Amino acid sequence: MDSSSHGLGPLSWRKSTYSATGGSCVEVGRLGGGAAVRDSKDRDGGYFTTTRAQWGAFVRAVKDGRFE
């Protein structure tokens, strides 16, 4: 669900400390029930939202190396 047009986005965004310096990163913002994710190269391009369970499953998959 994209709520960027409704002004319901997170108050702050952050990038991982593991992000490359080339700008190919995503930024994550905390929402009450989950997270919002956007492209760091196109901050005005909108974002998508996830539930807490969806975000947790994604983070576990990354840590498990499922995307390497």
Tens-place pLDDT, residues 23-60: 678 899 998 889 999 988 888 899 999 999 999 999 99
Tell whether 45 is covered by a domain: yes
Give the number of domains in the chain: 1
Tell whether 37 is covered by a domain: yes
What are the CA-CA distances from residue 37 to residues 3, 14, 25, 55 (Å)? Answer: 11, 10, 10, 10
Structural domain harbouring 49: 4-63
pLDDT of residue 52: 93
Tell whether 41 is covered by a domain: yes
Tell whether 68 is covered by a domain: no
Check residue 15 and give left, alpha or beta (phi > 0: left; psi -120 to 50: alpha): beta
Query: When comparing pLDDT for 2 and 19, which is higher?
Result: 19
